[in-house]
Chains A and B, each alone.
Chain A
Amino acid sequence: MAMVESILKKYHSSKRDQLIPILQAIQEAQGFLSRESIIRVGEFLNLPVSKIYGVATFYNQFRFKAIGKYHVMICRGTACHVKGSKSILELLEENLQIKAGDTSRDGLFSIEVVACIGACGLAPVISINGEFHGHLTKEKLITLLDECRKNK
């Protein structure tokens, strides 16, 4: 919570248009939006918690669960779809034993499906902790995941 306070200190005005940037800053810092942090933001902006949840659940970016040490984002854009990203996603879910949007029990991996990463020329693409990997094949994906497991 000290982290939430330090973020809120940066926002002097407590106008409504600061809501999304504040939520983004909190998610950036703790990886997701916790219940407590949302209540605190509500106090700060003088907004009902329900309104904040209304906004936060509307946007795809906000998560309400902690992410794994390795956060895998898989692109499901048109180019990636045509190039077989669906089977990549299936393999990913099978290999990590979790569904898209979840975090594995050991906290090592989490999967997030994104609409488009914007690297369509290299489809299919995933990003692991912000690092992009293009022209993905099933073999390449398994090697990548194994590397993550090794470095845990």
Chain B
Amino acid sequence: MDLAKDEKLPGNNLHVSRKIDYFPYIPPLFITLILLVGQITFGILDSYINVIISIATSIIAEVLLARLILGTHKNLASAYITGISVGILVRSNMVWPYVIAALLSILSKYVIRYKGRHLWNPSNFGVSWLLFMAPLSVAGLGIQWGNNLLPMAVIWLLGLGIVYRAKKLHVTLTYVTCFVILAYVRSLITSDPFLAELAPLTGPMYQLFIFFMITDPGTSVSGKRAQIVVVIIVAIVEFILRLESFIYAPFYALFLVGPVARFIDLKQNKSQTIANQTNEARQN
């Protein structure tokens, strides 16, 4: 999630400028805005407690793991976004899925690493795992949002502005374009109405996915062209999963494609690896 990830965070960045860069704080504010708009306007949350628990779990895990494993202090914006995403996306009548999803998300960053970098988008990992492996206890945010276009339009405009500022607009636009085209193809294949295939794009699950998961710099590949190729592959895998009736197809598609692309990218891109290792060495 994590437009505010490792590379751009103050105190955690080789390229930080001398001017104070406030942009890393924008994504956490934006996801908080989505939560607040959703909650105040429609009551998107079933319980504040679950979100608080998942945020707290993420932050505590991040603080401890960064200190004990990397020997550093990390900016907590990323953990905050992970926690809030888990709190919104996971739906359960019990508390433990929120704790475990948040823990798995953060742990994945420290456990599954290649050349000093993590491979999965943290919340994509935690949420996908629970949705797939714990269906008797967990469902996802998929069938709730309001009946008003205005809040959705505001979130889309703000989100597009932020990913533009983060230089990830091409990722978002490519994905949305692919989704719309493939929705049309699906409607031809399934004979379902095009609007039914397009409908998920109007829900909050996709807003979190589009603005926070697929644009995550921490798990993106290098180079604009490569990023576009990867997001097209994500959209195609999602298309296939949708034809197989996977409700949480976008999460699963990113779960499958993202780390493979990231692994190949890290394997090929030596300079980035060296920079990252240097960065970690400085932090340590």
A and B bind: no
Interface set of A (CB-CB < 8 Å, partner B)? none
